[in-house]
Amino acid sequence: MRQEIEITGLNKSFGQGASAFHALSDIDLSIGSGEFFTLLGPSGCGKTTLLRIIAGFEEPSTGVLKVNGKDVTGLGPSKRPINTVFQSYALFPHMSVADNIGFGLKMLGKPKSEIKATVAEMLQLVRMEAMADRLPSEISGGQQQRVALARALAPRPRVLLLDEPLSALDLKLRKEMQSELKRLQSETGITFVFVTHDQEEALTMSDRIAVMSAGEILQLGPPEDIYNAPVNRFVADFIGDTNFLTLRVKGIENGEAVLELPGGKQASARLPNSISPPVGARVTAVIRPEQAEPTAAGQGDMQAVVEAATFFGTDTHLHLLLDDAQGFVLRRQNRPDQPAPAPGAKLGLSFAPGALRVLED
Amino acid sequence: MRGHGWKWLLCTPALIVLLLAASGPLLIVAVYSFLSPGNMGGVSWEFTLDAWFRVFFRRDIFEPDLVEWNTAHLQVFWRSIWLSLQTTFICAFLGFPTAWFIATRPRHTRTIWLFLITIPFWTNLLIRTFAIQEMIRNNGTINAVLMWTGVIDSPIQMMFTEFAVLLGMAYVFLPLMVLPLYAAMEKMDFSLVEAGYDLYASRLNVLWHVILPQVKPGFIAGSILVFIPAIGAYVTPRILGGGRTMMLGNLIALQFGQGRNWPLGAALALLMLVVVVGALIFYLRVVGRNDEVRRG
């Protein structure tokens, strides 16, 4: 895949000397052409700063940024083939929807006929034909979102940056816009760089995700890898729900760790290549709540007592207490013929093969 | 709505003040403009349109049938309007970057800058105007420095010119432009500016297409706040302009003072009110119409 964005050795600090704040540390990142790429992390992790550097609103302290092979590090935002969808939408309040969408083309000096044709095309693309003459204040939040998208897409940028564009929408509208964004991206073939703190949004939409924390990229990969094989405790905790178990290593077999479970049984756990804990050491192992199966009491890999049950509609989260007093959350799909066990009930747990994984601490 | 019946009483103090301080005197002025001048000032209670006639026309002393336009009065009217327009423009031109500077400071330092802007209001206008006189008179600070450095050989005449009046008025009224402009800018969403740059706009285009439309309400408020007191300015043209650059306020004061023609002064004052209200309506119409055109 051809690289659309290449970032090498990028650092960004605000302020000087001892009070300087390092917003980004040694970022190296390549984003492929036509990719839906997501920067995911909690607020303050540097993802928005990175986006603003790509857009040209901030200058990096050190490092190089290339777009389509061309060094754009010193160029202002108006000189980059990149457009942004702002978190607040930033629609020009005194301009009609059509004038907003045509603004970029007008500033590029395109002929009026071309602007008109492209605006019409964009209005159709985001299904806002009927609203062309309205002012931004006269349309709903979801519609403003579509106009902001159309405005950023109209000049046909190489890269579209989206700064938490869905955070102001309610849940139903957000789901709609998620699929809308995916559709727009595949129809236009433009590289999307999407910033969000919503891990579910990131998992459902992205081709690749960069999980960020404290100005660093912790893990970079497709959503499945990030979810199934988080590299450390932060990623495992931030993406999805996770059970953390502290377990003793009994041995190493075929590159997998054999761990002693609460209650005395053994289970093998995947080991990252980077670590090989000695026999007898205590390690942190993780398992997703939906990757364990409830069984009859006395059967399975571990025994547990139900402490509480939380109903979520499609499934119920069972808060369990294991034999050695560690907590465990089990996600159990709801079925009308099998009511969820009540608090105090005893049950067994069995793991899907490969579900248990040792974490680097 | 129980218990709300008496609340209208709350507006009575304001109504009384308006009645006594604004409407009453205005009515007296209107009545006076249709009376004859008294011998030692004041009015004598005889109805005549003479004052209104003399606002616009003049009779030849030797041939009372020869009537011509009173160009002296019209000149003062025109000068007042023209100087006030220029003052408004200068204040807008200087006030915009000032307000922008303040609005783009970190939040906690903005207060200090705003405070500095309002400091001149603490000093008496008369004293500040005399201070300007000290700067620009023939043997004042500016001329002294210029001559000492050898830039000029003889002092530049600045006092008693329209330039002096403009300088004084721009100085006095500048804060009245800066404050509403700042208020408009402070409310502005600065991501709009970034959006402008992001969509390939040059600095000039961002200013013209993004920033100016956003701060337009500030310009409107500032223009009104500067233009209206400027057209009736008295102290500044009196001290810095002298007799040759008389403005409306001075002309009116003259009729009530040495001129001893109260009816003429009253008529001039009413005409000024009409001019101001007319200008205001015209201005707001023009500004408002632009909005309608834009919305197609």
Gap between the Cα atoms of B196 and A103, Å rounded: 8
pLDDT in tens, A116-174: 999 999 999 888 999 999 999 999 998 999 999 999 999 999 999 999 988 888 888 88
More confident residue, B60 or B223: B223
**Homologous superfamily (CATH) for B52-294:** MetI-like (1.10.3720.10)
Instruction: Indicate yes or no: CB of B214 within 8 angstroms of CB of A93.
Output: yes
| A309 and A183, same domain (yes or no) | no
More confident residue, B288 or A359: A359
> Average pLDDT of A211-239?
92
Tell whether A151 lies on the interface with B, counting CB pairs under 8 A.
Answer: yes
A149 interface with B at CB cutoff 8 Å: no
Q: What 8-state DSSP symbol labels residue B295? A: T
Distance from CA of B90 to the nearest CA of A (A): 26
Domain identity same for A157 and A199:
yes
* Residues from chain A contacting residue B195 (CB–CB below 8 Å): 84, 86, 90-92
Residue A279 shares a structural domain with residue A160: no
Domain end marker among A231, A249, A279: A231
Predicted confidence (pLDDT) at residue A72 exceeds the cutoff of 50: yes
- For residue B96 the two structure tokens come to 């915009």
Q: How confident is the model at residue B3 (pLDDT cuts 50, 70, 90)?
A: low
Provide the pLDDT confidence category of residue B295 given band limits of 50, 70 and 90: very low
Give me the pLDDT at residue B105, please: 93
Q: What is the CATH number of the domain that holds A189?
A: 3.40.50.300
User: Interface pTM (ipTM) of the complex?
Assistant: 0.85
Give the residue from chain B lying closest to A159, CA to CA.
Answer: B198
> For position A333, which CATH number holds?
2.40.50.140
Domain shared by A48 and A161, yes or no = yes
Q: How confident is the model at residue B291 (pLDDT cuts 50, 70, 90)?
A: low
- The pLDDT, as a whole number, for residue B290 is 56
Q: Is B68 helix (H, G, I), strand (E, B) or coil?
A: strand
Tell me which residue of A210, A214, A158, A161 sits closest to A188, measured CA to CA: A158
Domain residue spans of chain B: 52-294
Tens of pLDDT, residue by residue over B120-159, are: 888 889 999 999 999 999 989 999 999 999 898 999 999 9
Yes or no: say if A356 and A262 are a contact pair by the CB < 8 Å rule. no
pLDDT of residue A169: 83
Contact yes or no for A84 and B195 at CB 8 A: yes
**Mutating which of A84, A99, A161 best tests the B interface, going by the most B Cβ atoms within 10 A?**
A84
Is A158 inside any structural domain? yes
> Do A124 and A179 belong to one domain?
yes
In a domain, A259, yes or no: yes
Mean pLDDT, range A232-248, rounded to an integer: 90
Question: pLDDT value at position A172?
Answer: 86
Both A277 and A178 in one domain: the answer is no
Which of B195, B202, B209 has its CB closest to that of A86? B195
CB-based contact B198 A84, cutoff 8 Å? yes
**Single pTM value for the model:** 0.82
**Domain annotation covers residue A313:** yes
Q: What are A194's strand-pairing partners? A: A38, A162
A60 lies in some domain: yes
- Residue A243 tokens, joined: 């059970």
A101 and A189 housed in the same domain: yes
Judgement on whether residues A66 and A183 belong to the same structural domain of the protein: yes
Q: How many CB pairs under 8 A join A and B?
A: 70
Query: Looking at beta carbons, which residues of chain B come within 8 Å of A56?
Result: 197-198
> According to the model, what pLDDT value does residue B7 have?
84
Distance (Å, whole) CA A199 – CA A186: 21
In chain A, whose CA is at the least distance from the CA of B189?
A90
User: pLDDT by residue (tens digit) across B180-218?
Assistant: 999 999 999 999 999 999 999 999 999 999 999 999 999
- Contact across the interface for A88 and B194, Cβ inside 8 Å: no
Q: Can you point out the beta strands (E) in B23-142? A: 35-37, 43-47, 57-59, 67-69
Query: B279 CA to chain A: closest CA distance, Å?
Result: 25
For residue B287, the surrounding DSSP H or E stretch is helix B262-294
Q: What pLDDT, in 10s, does the model give residues B32-81?
A: 999 999 888 888 999 999 999 999 998 888 888 888 899 999 999 999 99
Domain end among A231, A255, A271: A231
What is the C-alpha to C-alpha distance for residues A83 and A89, in angstroms, rounded to an integer?
12
- Residues A225 and A279 placed together within one structural domain of the fold: no
Name which of B202, B210, B296 is nearest A92 (Cβ-Cβ): B210
Q: What Rg, from alpha-carbon coordinates, does chain A have?
A: 25
Across chain B, the runs of DSSP E, i.e. the strands, are 35-37, 43-47, 57-59, 67-69
Look up residue B250 and give its DSSP letter: H
Number of separate domains in chain A: 2
Last residue of a domain, one of A170, A199, A231: A231
Compute the nearest-CA separation of B217 from chain A (Å): 12
- Residue A40 to chain B, least CA–CA distance (Å): 22
Neighboring chain B residues of A93 at a CB cutoff of 8 Å: 192, 214
Domain limits for position A300: 241-358
Q: Would residue A113 count as lying in a domain?
A: yes
Whether A143 and A193 map to the same domain: the answer is yes
Clarify whether residues A176 and A256 are in a common domain.
no
Amino acid identity for residue B126 in this structure: L
Which positions in chain A touch B192 (Cβ < 8 Å)?
90, 92-93
CB burial class (10 A; 0-12, 13-18, 19+) of residue A6? middle
In a domain, A236, yes or no: no
> What is the rounded average pLDDT for all residues in chain A?
91
- Answer yes or no: do B198 and A92 touch at CB < 8 A: no
Cβ of A133 within 8 Å of Cβ of B189? The answer is no
| pLDDT higher than threshold 90 for residue B286 | no
Query: Phi/psi at A295 (nearest 5 deg)?
Result: -130, 175
Position A336 scores a pLDDT of 83
- One domain, residues A103 and A199: yes
